Amino acid sequence: MLRSLRNQTQSIFFKIFLGFLICGFALWGVGDLTGGANNKPVLSIENKEISTEEVIYELNKLRYSLPQRPSLQDTLKNGMLQNVLNKFEQEILINKEADFLNLHVPLSVQTKAVRNESAFKNPLGKFSENKYFQSLNNAGLTEKKYLEMIQTEGNFKQISMPFQLNHTYDNKIVKAIIDYQNEVRDIEFEFMKYLNKKDIQQPEIKTLEEFFRTNKSSYVFPKTRDIKYIEIKPSDFHDQVKITKKQIDDKYEIDKSKYITAEKREIYQITSQEKNKVDELRKLINDGTPFQTAASKIFNLSKDDISLGLLTKKELPDISAEPLFSGKKNDVIGPLKTEFGFNVYKIVNIIPKTEIKYEDIIKDIKLNLLNELSIEILYEKLDLIEDLIAEGNNLEEITRSDIFKNKIFVKQLNKVSEDSFLHSYTKNKTFFNKGEDFLKNIWMTKLNETSDIIDLKNDTYALIQVIRENSKEMLAFEQVREKILDQWTSIEVVNQTKAKLKKLILSKNENLKSNSTIKRNQKSLDNFSDNSLIFNIFEIDNKDINFLNTVDGVIAVKVKNRKVDNYQKNIEINNNLNLSLSKSFFNDYSNYFIKNLATKHKLVRNYNDLENFLLNTEVQ
């Protein structure tokens, strides 16, 4: 809400209309949802209260406007409920502060806001009472609520005016930022590739045990789950597709234009109202003067001025299309009289029409039909799979059913945590990404049950079966000994490489091998693949030799000189930076201001009861 109130270029109705547009069925079950809720207000401030019913009403409007229609419990996890609560907080605090300051929004301002709202205007641009009430109804708003929102926006504009009109930032700050962006550094550096792990001497067992004790917190597995899953793709049903000649012929008629590239011609054109000059131009050309030279001599036109580029016949006016596409390369056509004057053309180049062979078109059409029909079969089979799930079939039974002709493999993932990591005794944890819905279903599905069908996008679907849930685990040394050795060795590779590079540099009296001048905004240093290296070098704030780890090895860097590169002041960049800083200041101050109002007017929050109620309700 605060963000909406800040935006002075859009009407409040337009913002609300976009944010809370709902269908007629959006509020099913609202009355049932709030029946068991605590009657204690969710928010209260002196003589103003926000009830549980009001919050859930707004929350349902928002969640039912979204395609995925999240459950009430999901609104807690994804922050949607908090956004609704923030909206209510800001509304009552702004209006309370307006009362405290004796502010009011004149009726003329409210009337003007209503009349200027484009959603309320008819096709002639006039205010329409019918559209006014229809639009409010579509947005789930009463007239009273809408006018209250206009009042709130007006109150905020008045309250925020002292810190809102901050259009120009200090030029010194802007200059310092631009100077920072244009900093250049002269550096010396020397690079050494990492030693081979095989060259690192194996440690004693007590060394590894000490490493384990020092990093014991890293060897804790959170609560995890082991799962089996299958993925269902259109290609799984390719063998069930039967393509007829009629389907191919019908598809060919629809798509054949896609396989033909029309002839194109590169054209020069000169247009003039002065017939005598056009005749003079044509005479020069007939006498052997190149078209472009004649155009420059008579009309002072360059090649860019006369070139129309490559055009198809359909892209040209009828009067010139036929002669230009009947002529040959280098033919000069005209003058032709049009409504714009006299036109002289030259055909510079001809790109012939191309057409893919019929046999190749049929191959492509068959492939497209195969994919399209496979998707149709997949959607039909999903209904059958849902029936099998409802009957209690597990993944193996589903894959062995008549639904599939090809073998569908059941895959397994072990020790999946709620933050999308796979944990292992022998390897470092790895991130897997099959989407938020896949992860959510791992933790929503009950043990030994099969999940609902999960949409992985791109016409791919998945089913999950939870095999086991593993409690949080404090690992013993022997369980992760192999992993500890690998981690210890990796660290030792870096340390020993760095020590070897230091020794080399000392032997050369700290003279580094290479020199370079780098800019803050360049992507990489010479041939180094590490994109973060430039950033790390610009973080150096001393003139010592600094040792930085890269992807491939250790680099020793010494900053010899710092300066600001020559740059030309760009007024547009300065203004945009000024605007960005001003907006940032306004946003930060607005957030602080709202928090301060909550303290000043003793806002009382009762979020725990509301959240507990939502967590315990099963209504979706």
At 52-87, the pLDDT tens digits run 888 888 888 887 777 667 777 777 777 888 888 988
Give the pLDDT score at 164. 67
Q: How many CB atoms lie within 10 A of CB 456?
A: 16
Of 3.10.50.40, 3.40.50.150, 3.40.50.300, 3.20.20.70, the CATH number of 263-352 is 3.10.50.40
Residues of the chain with pLDDT > 70, as a percent, come to: 91
pLDDT for 562 equals 93
Name the least confident of 269-283, 348-362, 481-495.
Answer: 348-362
User: Whose structure tokens read 């609902």?
Assistant: 452
**pLDDT band, very low/low/confident/very high, at 34 (cuts 50, 70, 90):** very low
Could you give the angle at the alpha carbon of 610 between the alpha carbons of 608 and 613, nearest 5°? 105
| pLDDT, average across residues 287-315 | 86
Please report the pLDDT score of residue 398 as a whole number: 93
Q: Is the pLDDT of residue 505 over 90?
A: yes
Longest dimension (CA), the chain: 101
Per-residue pLDDT at 256 exceeds 70: yes
Helix residue spans in 445-570 (DSSP H): 481-507, 533-538
Tokens linked to 325: 């596409």
Residue 440: is its pLDDT beyond 70? yes
Least confident of 19-28, 148-157, 467-476, 497-506: 19-28
Is there a contact between 343 and 332 (Cβ–Cβ < 8 Å)? no
pTM: 0.51
Model confidence at 532, pLDDT cuts 50, 70, 90, reads confident
CB 151 within 8 A of CB 480: no
pLDDT confidence band for 494 (50 / 70 / 90)? very high
Identify the band that residue 7 occupies on the pLDDT scale cut at 50, 70 and 90: very low
What is the rounded distance in angstroms from the CA atom of residue 232 to the CA atom of residue 374? 11
Q: What is the pLDDT of residue 169?
A: 65
- pLDDT score, position 39: 66
pLDDT tier at 461 (50, 70, 90 boundaries)? very high
Q: Check if the beta carbon of residue 512 is closer than 8 Å to that of residue 188.
A: yes
Q: What is the pLDDT of residue 18?
A: 38
Q: Is the pLDDT reported for residue 442 higher than 60? A: yes
Mean pLDDT of 211-222: 91
Strands of 341-351's sheet in order across: 307-312, 264-272, 341-351, 332-338
CATH topology of domain 223-241+364-471: Chitinase A; domain 3 (3.10.50)
Give the pLDDT band of residue 619 (cuts 50, 70, 90). very low
Q: What is the arithmetic mean of pLDDT over 94-104? A: 89
**pLDDT at residue 539, as a whole number:** 92
The full DSSP string for 32-44 is: HHHTTS--S-SEE
Scored b (16 or more CB within 10 A) or e, 168-196 reads ebeeeebeeebeeeeeebebbbbbbebbe
Tokens of 617: 């309700």
Instruction: Provide the pLDDT confidence category of residue 483 given band limits of 50, 70 and 90.
Output: very high
Question: Where do the CATH 3.10.50.40 domains begin and end in the chain?
Answer: 263-352
pLDDT over 60 (residue 459): yes
Could you tell me the strand order of the sheet in which 183-193 lies?
514-519, 183-193, 553-564, 545-549
Q: pLDDT value at position 549?
A: 92
Q: Is the pLDDT of residue 278 over 90?
A: no
Residue 434 has pLDDT above 90, yes or no: no
Task: Tell me the C-alpha distance between 86 and 279, whole Å.
Answer: 75
Cis peptide before 323 (omega within 30 of 0): no
468 neighbors 225 (Cβ within 8 angstroms): yes
Q: Quick one: pLDDT at residue 187?
A: 94
Q: What is the mean pLDDT of the chain?
A: 84
Output the pLDDT for position 387.
92
| Tokens found for residue 542 | 């001393």
Q: Which band of pLDDT confidence, cut at 50, 70 and 90, is reported for residue 511? A: very high
**Position 9 pLDDT exceeds 70:** no
The set of long-range contacts for 363-367, using a CB threshold of 8 Å and a minimum separation of 24, is 364/259, 365/248, 365/251, 365/252, 365/255, 366/243, 366/248
Please provide residue 14's backbone torsions phi and psi, each rounded to the nearest 5 degrees: -60, -40
Lowest mean pLDDT of 20-24, 142-146, 491-495, name the range: 20-24
Q: What is the pLDDT of residue 21?
A: 34
Neighbours of 359 (CB within 10 A): 7
Strands 454-455 and 545-549: unpaired
- Percent of the chain past pLDDT 90, that is, above it, reads 34
| Residue with tokens 């193996």, as numbered in its chain | 396
pLDDT at 35 > cutoff 70:
no
The Cα-based distances of 495 to 102, 200, 376, 484, 533 in angstroms read: 68, 11, 58, 16, 18
Query: Does position 236 have pLDDT exceeding 80, yes or no?
Result: yes
Q: For residue 311, which of 366, 258, 365, 348 has the smallest C-alpha distance?
A: 348
- Predicted confidence band at 362 (pLDDT cuts at 50, 70, 90)? confident
